[in-house]
Chains A and B, each alone.
Chain A
Amino acid sequence: MQLLYDFFTGQAGMDLAGAHIAVASLMAVLMFTVMALCAIIFTWMERKVAGFMQSRYGPMYTGRWHGWAQAVADMLKILGKEDIIPGEADKGMFQFAPILVLLGSLLAWAAIPWAPDFVAADFDLGLFYIFAVSSLVVIGILMAGWSSNNKWALYGAARGAAQMVSYEIPLALAAIPVVMRTGSLNPQDIIIAQQGGIWNWNINPIMNPFLFIAFFMYFIASIAETNRGPFDMPETESELVAGYHTEYTGMRFAFFFLSEYANLFLVSMIATMLFLGGWWAPFPGMAWIPPALNFIIKGVLLVFLNMWVRWTLPRVRVDQLMFLCWKVMIPLSLLCVVGAGLWMMAWGQLK
C-alpha cells in the first residue's frame, strides 16, 4: 500500500487527497475483479466437489481438462440472457436490490487483510466494520423478495433475513474471544498476534480450549450466514423454486450469484484471519511462501470444507434451524466468551 501511495504522490505528482482517491478507486476495481474471478473459480469447484461427493465426474467436456471452462461458459451464457422485469414487480426496488446485495459484499471485502502491507482499508474497526456492512445484504435480500411480487420470493426473503439476523449473533459472539486475546479489532493486529507457527494460532486447543470451540461456532454460523446447505432454507429448490431470486435473470441474477460466492469466500477469509493465523505460514521453515498465498490457500481450504458440508448433510427444518441458533449456539458462544476470559485470567494471557 505504501508503494502505491509513493507511486501516486511521487511519479504521478498528486497531492495526498488525490492519492487517497486514486488508491481507493484502484482497490475497489481490484477487489471487484477478484470477486468475479472467485465466483467463476468456485462455481467450477463446487460442481466438481459435488460430483465427487456423489460418485460422478461433474463437468468434463468444456475446455478439455476436467471441464475447467464450464464456469466461464456459464458466465457468458448468463450475461447474454434477456433482462426480464415482471410486470407486477416494484420496478425501482427490483432493479436496486441486486446492487445493494453486491454492495454489502464488496464493502466488507475492503477490510480483508491479504498480506502484511496489503489491505484496501486499514483501520482500527476492521472486524466490527465487516460484520456491520454485511447487514446490507439482509436488506437487499428483503428488497429483492418483496419487490418481485412473488410468493416464493417473499417466503425465501423472509426466511433468509430471519436466518441471517439470528446467526449474526453467534457469528459475532464467536469472534469476541479472539478480540479479547488480541486486544484489538484491527484485522492486521489480530493476525500479527498469531505469529510463530501453527501452535500460536488462535485455534490451538492447548493455548485456549474456548477459542478452539469458538472456531467451530464461527464455522457453523458462517454456513448459515451465507445461506448454504444444510441451512439453505431461503433457496430450497424443492419448495421455493429458487427463493428470493426466483424472478431474476441475466445480469441481475449474476449479481446475486456473485454476492453468494463472494460472501462464502469472505466468511472463510474472516475465519482464517481470526483463528488460522491469517497470512502466517503454518511452520517456521515455510517463511518463503508469500503471505497472500498462505492466506488464500487457507481461505480456499475452508471454502472446500464448506462445500463438503453442503453436499454431505441433509437440509434442516426451519424450527430446527431456530432451535440450533437460539437455544444451542447463542448460550454456547456466550459460555465461550466467559470461559475464554477466565482461562486467559488464570494463565495470565490477558493483554
Chain B
Amino acid sequence: MYDFQTVQTRRQWLARCGGGAGLLGLATLLQDEGLLAAERGAALNPLAPKQSHFPAKAKRVIWIFVNGGPSQVDTWDYKPGLDKWAGKSLKEFDGTFENTTGFFQHQVGKLMPSPFKFTPRGECGKMVSEIFPKLGEHVDKMAFIHSGYTESNNHSPALFMMNTGMARMGFPGVGSWVTYGLGSENLDLPGFVVMSDPLGRGLPKGSAANWGAAFLPGVYQGTHLRPQGAPIDNLSRPGALSDMGQRAQLDLLKQLNQQHYAQRQAEGELAARIESFELAYRMQTTAPEAIDISQESEQISKLYGIDEKQCGHFAKQCLVARRMIERGVRFVQIYSGGMENQRSWDGHIDIEGNHRQFAGETDQPIAALLTDLAQRGLLDETLVIWCGEFGRLPIAQTGEKPGRDHNPHCFSAWMAGGGVQGGVSYGESDEVGYKAAIDKVHVNDLHATILHLLGLDHEKLTYKYNGRRFRLTDVAGEVLHPILA
C-alpha cells in the first residue's frame, strides 16, 4: 500500500509553517510536492478550521446589515452645521453637486437638519440620535467610521460592493472569503449563515448573489435561514423513518461504503463522504438546537425583546446569531429590512417615520446582543458590525413628508468587540454630511480592516480563478490601524 508516513510528516511540517507561509503558499506547495489528490482533499477539508495569517482577537463576525442605506446625519454623524445651512441648496454648499447623485432627480429639496435630537452618550460623550436610546448605552464599545464612501448610488450594485468589494454580480462576499480563509469551528453547522427579513418585506436587492460563493467552492456560500417554514433544507427525516430506523439505514450504508472503500484506500474522498453522512446525522440535532431560542431564559428573552411587538422579529434573529456564534459559526449576517422604500431603511419618503420605525425594530435587540455577548465573554472574540450599503443625502427629497435620497459619497458605520477600540470615531464628513472629507474610508479599506481584525492579510487572502488571483479588496485596501485596540 501507499506509504502514508510521508504525507503525515509533510502535513506536520505544513502545520508548523502554515501561519508564516500563508495558506495559499501551503496549497501551492502541496501541489508542487505532488501530493495525492485524495490525501489533499482529506487534509484540507474545505471547512476545517485553518490558521489565520497572524494572531488576532476576533474569531467570528456578526454583521448587522442596515439594508436600504441608513442616513448618516440622522443616526451617528451629528451635524450641527446642517442647522446653519438649513434651507439652502446643496449646490451652494458644494459646487460639485450635479443632482445626479441621487435617484429622484425631480424631487431635489434643500439641505435639511435631522428631525431627531442628538445627545451625548456614554463615557466618551458620543452624540447619538434619539432613535437609538438603548444602543446609545454601548457607544463606549463602538468604533465609529464617519468617512465611508462607495461607488454606486443604486441598491444592488452598492449591496454587491459592500458585500463583495465589486459593484458587479459574481464575486464572493466577505462571509465567504472569511470562511474560506479560516474555515469553521463547528463542522456540524454551516460556517456562514445569513438571516433576512422575516416580516415578508423581501430579500435585499440582488438577493442570494449577496452571499453567494461566486468562483470560490460552493461550500463557502452563505446558508440562508429561511425566514418562514423550515429554516434549513432537509433537516427532518422522512416521515416513514423513525430515528432508530434512520440510524439503522445509515449504519447499513456505512457498512456497504466501507467495504467499497476497503478496496480503494487511495481515494480519500470516499472516506470523507462516509464521514459526511455521520456529520449530517448529527446536524439533524445540532442545527435545530442552535436556532431553538425557546431554550433561553426569560431574562434573556426580555433583554432582547422577544415578546415586543415592534422588535420581536429582529430580537429572535439577534438571539439566534448569538447562539450560532457561541457554537463556533464563523460569520453571521442579519439584514434589517427587506427591499426598497418603506420596506427597509431606504427612507425616500418620510425619513423621520422610516428611521424611527427601523431603529425601533433593531435598537433593543442589537443593544441586547452587545450586552449578552459581553456578559458571556464572547464580545472580545466577536466582531459586531453595523453598516449598510450607502448613506443618504443631507438634503430633503421633496414630497408630502420629506425623505432623503441615496448618497454613495458618505456613510457611517460602527464596529464593536473583537480587536476594535471602543468609544472612538474615525474620519469626518464635511460640514453637512454630504461627502466623506477627512480620512476617507473606501469599502476596500473597510474590508481590509475586517479581515485584519480576524488575522487575515487582505493582500494574501487570494483565490486563483480564470488566470487571476482575486481578492476581496481587488487591488486596493488600507487597514484602519487607528481603530484597532
The answer to whether A and B come from one shared complex is: no
B-side residues, CB < 8 A to A, are none
A-side residues, CB < 8 A to B, are none
